[in-house]
Amino acid sequence: MFYIYPMRKLGVKERVIETASDLFYNQGYNQTGINQIIDEAGVAKASMYQHFRSKEDIAVAYLIARHTMWMGKLDECVAKEKSPKSKVICVFTYLTEWLTEVDFRGCGWQNIITDLPTDHNKIKDQAIYHKNELRGWLQKELSKEKEFTNKEAKELGDEVMVLIEGAIILSQIQKDTWPIVTAKKACKKILA
């Protein structure tokens, strides 16, 4: 047999993560039940529980996958920029493209940690990790800029970080790009 398209179905694990990623992000963690995930993934419940201990574990896998995807797209988007400083400013271009595309659905990590059962600590840890990675990315980029000392680069990176988070959540609430546009303007001022 010849398979023009790769007929090999994705494995159970991959299908679950893929489906859950879509559902968790677009309709919310609390709004998404196990049953919907396995139905849409076309997977038996017992098979799913062979690969994941709990719903929280699925969410952790989702967030890990999302992290590499999100950081990858960020790198891709800022690649065309020459200076570290303009790379950092370009983050807000990335935010605009991304958030308008998803109809201002906001940040996957912000969304999941704000209304979570008290004991879901693995999810919270993923949020902390992701935000720390982004924070580190900003600081690292800015530290490449000769005009800044290391200390300055760290402080400026943190300020940009706050602007990013504010732009994301506010654009989500207001369903508008103005917070991102505003944040970009503020970012330029700060780095000037």
Binding site for DNA (CB under 7 A): 11-13, 32-36, 42-47, 49-51, 54-56
Encoded one letter per residue, x for contact with a copy of itself by CB under 8 A and - for no contact, window 57-96 reads: ----------------------------------------
Q: Which long-range contacts link 20-29 to residues 24+ away (Cβ below 8 Å)? A: 20/58, 20/59, 20/61, 20/62, 21/62, 21/65, 21/66, 24/59, 24/62, 24/108, 24/112, 25/62, 25/66, 25/102, 25/105, 25/108, 25/111, 26/102, 26/105, 28/111, 29/59, 29/111, 29/112, 29/116
Using CB under 8 A, pick the residue from 12, 48, 59, 112 that binds a copy of itself.
Answer: 112
Residues 9-28 that bind a copy of itself (CB under 8 A): 27-28
Smallest separation (angstroms) from a copy of itself to the CB of 163: 6
Region class of 139: left (phi > 0), else alpha (psi between -120 and 50), else beta = alpha
37 binds a copy of itself, rule: CB under 8 A: no
Q: Which residues bind a copy of itself (CB under 8 A)?
A: 27-31, 106, 109-118, 124, 127-128, 131, 155, 158-159, 161-167, 169-170, 172-174, 178-179, 182-183, 185-186, 189-190
